[in-house]
Amino acid sequence: MNKSKEKELLLVLGGSRSGKSSWALRYAEEQYQPCIFIATAEVMDEEMAERVRLHKESRGPAWKLIEEPLNIDNALETGCAHADAVLIDCMTVWLS
């Protein structure tokens, strides 16, 4: 757990399916507790359904899930007040 009172913003960049989410999950779990995972993707086809299933399996019990495809600001304000770490996944889908 990170004892520092200063907030940290970390942007993880990389190619499609390059392991960004896995790396960010591990990093946050090692540094912070509790953790919030904001999922922005919407399941529109079988491929996305499989990706969501794998993401759910990869998160440990330390993670609380918030599914919010559009209003990330609302999710941050209402669901993340007491979290030490917030991971927003699938930003490219949200931005498009």
Q: List the catalytic residues.
A: 55
Number of residues assigned to the chain:
96
Amino acid identity, residue 88?
I
Element (H, E) at 63: strand 63-67
Residue 68 near residue 75, CB atoms below 8 Å:
yes
